[in-house]
Amino acid sequence: MAHYRSERVTIGYERRASLALLHIRLWTALRRWHGLSRSRRHLLELSDEHLRDIGVSRAEALAEGRRSFYLD
């Protein structure tokens, strides 16, 4: 019986560790997507002069700014 309990504890620990890792990966992805979305939105708000300063054309800024947040 002790062997069975030990297996159950190990499986429980592995499941919790797996869920914790999933949670971390999901949180990381959400933070990255939010950052990309915010950066692309700010790019669309830049003036032509600011875009020229960073070497980006208005067309390039529009193309990048309209990309979905989950695309790298």
Q: What distance in Å separates the CA atoms of residue 61 and residue 31, rounded to the nearest whole number?
A: 22
Domain boundaries, the chain: 2-65
Q: What distance in Å separates the CA atoms of residue 57 and residue 50, rounded to the nearest whole number?
A: 10
Report the pLDDT value the prediction gives residue 33, as an integer from 0 to 100.
92
Report the pLDDT value the prediction gives residue 29, as an integer from 0 to 100.
93
Report the pLDDT value the prediction gives residue 40, as an integer from 0 to 100.
92
Q: What distance in Å separates the CA atoms of residue 57 and residue 29, rounded to the nearest whole number?
A: 29
Q: What distance in Å separates the CA atoms of residue 63 and residue 43, rounded to the nearest whole number?
A: 10
Report the pLDDT value the prediction gives residue 64, as an integer from 0 to 100.
93
Report the pLDDT value the prediction gives residue 4, as an integer from 0 to 100.
55
pLDDT mean values, one per 10 residues, the chain (72 residues): 57 83 95 92 96 96 88 70
* pTM, two decimal places: 0.66
